[in-house]
Amino acid sequence: MRVQRALVSVSDKRGLEELGRALANLKIEILSTGGTAKALSSLGIPVKQVADHTGAPEILGGRVKTLHPRIHGGILGRRDLESDEKDMAAQNIAPIDLVVVNLYPFREAVARGAPLAEVTEEIDIGGPSMIRSAAKNVAHVAVVVDPDDYPRVVSALKEKGELTQELRNELQAKAFAHTAAYDASISSYFLGQLGVPFPQQLSRPFEKAQDLRYGENPHQRAALYKDPLPPPEPSVPFATVLQGKELSYNNLLDLDSALGCVKEFDETCAVIIKHNTPCGVAIGASIEDAYRRARAADEVSAFGGIVAVNRPVDAALARALGETFLECVIAPSYATEARDLLAAKKNLRLLESPTLAGPRSTWKRGGMELRGITGGMLVQDRDVGEAAELKTAGKLAPTAEQLNDLRFAWKVCKHVRSNAIVFAKGGQTVGIGGGQTSRVEAVKLAARKAVLPLAGTAVASDAFFPFRDGLDACADAGATSCVQPGGSVRDAEVFAAADERGVAMVLTGMRHFRH
């Protein structure tokens, strides 16, 4: 069936002129409303106001424009059903063959912090109704919600005067996804206004940023989706890729881990991630110094690693980065000379996230963490908790230097897979052990991997020591201070062991499991 009449009503005016002129040149009647009709008329494109088509004026300040039988009857009427044709003829309803609609900018109003009354007015009613009507009647009507689809729609109309059923089906699926995401945004906003973290029905809108070559392994398909609006803190999906090969699924996971760890620090800091866990973290007098110290903690694992820094990349750091094969670097910015130096590393991905430079006080860290399991989804608060104070557990209180090391180790420990153990000294990781089924084994792994001296180190444990053997292993390795959550039924035994071994122990009262 040839397209003879189109209804065009869009908030996103991208491509509107080209579409309007093409429809007019094809002698397709254009119905429109409000700003869209005004925009088309100003371009000299013939357009018929919906109010003139329906014989009913817009009312309620524009809230009711298209909610009329001559609109929805024209869209929903089945051309191959005699009873529908009789109803349309009796009510003088002309068929509408093409619906081009996108919705009021609700999410944009939320993003700019508009007041509730203004946000509420950006909830589209007629638009979703027309989209759903057209999508339902896909056998006879085409619906277009994305300006990026205009060129191929116009091409099909020029070639055949109609859209194939295959194309209409594709546009139908996209239309329902469009309205579902829109409604999910509205739901999320009002649930947020009420402070409801875990609603009975969870709807989260995400937009596809890109297809990925594959997932964790080549036989797995994958894509990156991102929130419709940037979060109020640095994030990987909203960082700018400056150079390098296409990011992989594993790159993105590792970048998120690196970014999460470096965001713990106000000090000049560098983080190196390998296989989704830190292998070297350090603070330094300069960003080059911080990176070199992080790399020195485990140079073997740093090979092929992911780097995050919270200061601009200067030429000195760029030279240091060029000394080792790396997969990705994410930073607040890059000096011109640094970009020139790193350009020689054609496969090195460089990402830029300007707000990463801080201050951290300007970020709003939080939100929910979603993790899929077979047949369901687990949802929890993101772990952005910080221990309010460190409480001395035994007879020995840590020195000021030890306290600094303990705080540093504790921040890193949050980002290591459980069971997690981190040895640190002087603002530098010395040994990291994680992902073990036994805390004692995590201690032994961290000590075994250490290439820097363990004597006098501070050690952090992401959860309590269930027995004294874990603490003894830390002391055997050289630790002289320890930070852990506490809470074991054998705490007294562990505290006594710390006193016996000369280890100053402090408690956070907060656990940081990372499974």
Q: How much is the mean pLDDT over the chain?
A: 91
How far is residue 359 from each of residues 261, 313, 387, measured CA to CA in Å? 15, 17, 20
Decide if 66 contacts 51 (C-beta within 8 A). Answer: no
pLDDT score, position 280: 96
Of the candidates 279, 283, 277, the residue with the CA atom closest to the CA atom of residue 295: 279
Query: Residues 307-325: pLDDT tens digits?
Result: 999 999 999 999 999 999 9
Residues of the chain with pLDDT > 90, as a percent, come to: 64
pLDDT of residue 254 exceeding 80, the answer is yes
Query: Residues 188-199: pLDDT tens digits?
Result: 888 888 888 888
pLDDT score, position 11: 87
The dihedrals phi and psi of 306, each to the nearest 5 degrees, come to -115, 130
Q: What is the mean pLDDT of residues 485-495?
A: 92
Range in 65-69, 278-282, 343-347 with the lowest mean pLDDT: 65-69
Query: Residues 119-137: pLDDT tens digits?
Result: 888 888 888 998 999 999 9
Give the span between the Cα atoms of 273 and 250, in whole angstroms: 11
The DSSP 8-state label assigned to residue 120 in this structure reads H
Residue type, 442: A
The dihedrals phi and psi of 49, each to the nearest 5 degrees, come to -65, 140
Catalytic residue IDs:
136, 275
The pair of three-digit structure tokens given for residue 161, joined into one six-digit string: 């005067």
Cα atoms in the Cβ-side hemisphere of radius 13 Å centred on 48? 16
| Residue of higher predicted confidence among 198 and 63 | 198
Confidence band for 289, pLDDT divided at 50, 70 and 90: very high
Q: What is the mean pLDDT of residues 95-112?
A: 89
Give the span between the Cα atoms of 259 and 324, in whole angstroms: 20
Say whether 483 sits in a helix, a strand or coil: strand
Decide if 8 contacts 144 (C-beta within 8 A). Answer: no
Confidence band for 113, pLDDT divided at 50, 70 and 90: confident
Q: What is the mean pLDDT of residues 350-378?
A: 89
pLDDT of residue 1 exceeding 70, the answer is no
pLDDT of residue 249 exceeding 80, the answer is yes
Of the candidates 144, 184, 145, 174, the residue with the CA atom closest to the CA atom of residue 3: 144
Q: Is 191 exposed, middle or buried (0-12, 13-18, 19+ CB in 10 A)?
A: middle
pLDDT score, position 89: 86
The pair of three-digit structure tokens given for residue 95, joined into one six-digit string: 């068929």
Query: Residues 148-186: pLDDT tens digits?
Result: 999 999 999 998 888 999 999 999 999 999 999 999 988
pLDDT score, position 387: 78
Give the span between the Cα atoms of 486 and 352, in whole angstroms: 39
Query: Residues 12-51: pLDDT tens digits?
Result: 899 999 999 999 999 999 999 888 988 999 999 998 888 8
pLDDT score, position 448: 94
Query: Residues 413-431: pLDDT tens digits?
Result: 999 999 999 999 999 999 9
Q: Which helix (H) or strand (E) holds 336?
A: helix 336-342
Give the span between the Cα atoms of 65 and 56, in whole angstroms: 8
Query: Residues 260-276: pLDDT tens digits?
Result: 999 999 999 999 999 99
The DSSP 8-state label assigned to residue 210 in this structure reads E
pLDDT of residue 405 exceeding 90, the answer is yes
Query: What strand order describes the sheet that includes 391-392?
Result: 391-392, 504-507, 479-484, 457-461, 421-424, 429-433
Of the candidates 388, 392, 396, 490, the residue with the CA atom closest to the CA atom of residue 439: 490
pLDDT of residue 493 exceeding 80, the answer is yes
Query: Residues 367-397: pLDDT tens digits?
Result: 888 888 888 988 888 888 887 789 999 899 9
The pair of three-digit structure tokens given for residue 255, joined into one six-digit string: 């970048």
pLDDT of residue 475 exceeding 70, the answer is yes
Residues of the chain with pLDDT > 70, as a percent, come to: 100
Query: What strand order describes the sheet that includes 5-9?
Result: 48-49, 29-32, 5-9, 98-101, 142-144
pLDDT of residue 74 exceeding 70, the answer is yes
Query: Residues 437-449: pLDDT tens digits?
Result: 999 999 999 999 9
E-strand ranges in 332-389 read 349-352, 368-373, 376-381
Give the span between the Cα atoms of 447 and 433, in whole angstroms: 8
Decide if 104 contacts 145 (C-beta within 8 A). Answer: no
Of the candidates 434, 473, 436, the residue with the CA atom closest to the CA atom of residue 454: 473
Say whether 118 sits in a helix, a strand or coil: helix
pLDDT score, position 388: 74
pLDDT of residue 352 exceeding 70, the answer is yes
pLDDT of residue 500 exceeding 90, the answer is yes
pLDDT score, position 356: 94
Q: Please confirm whether the linkage preceding 419 is cis (ω < 30° from 0).
A: yes
Give the span between the Cα atoms of 313 and 333, in whole angstroms: 6
Taking phi over 0 as left and psi of -120 to 50 as alpha, with beta for the rest, 375 belongs to left
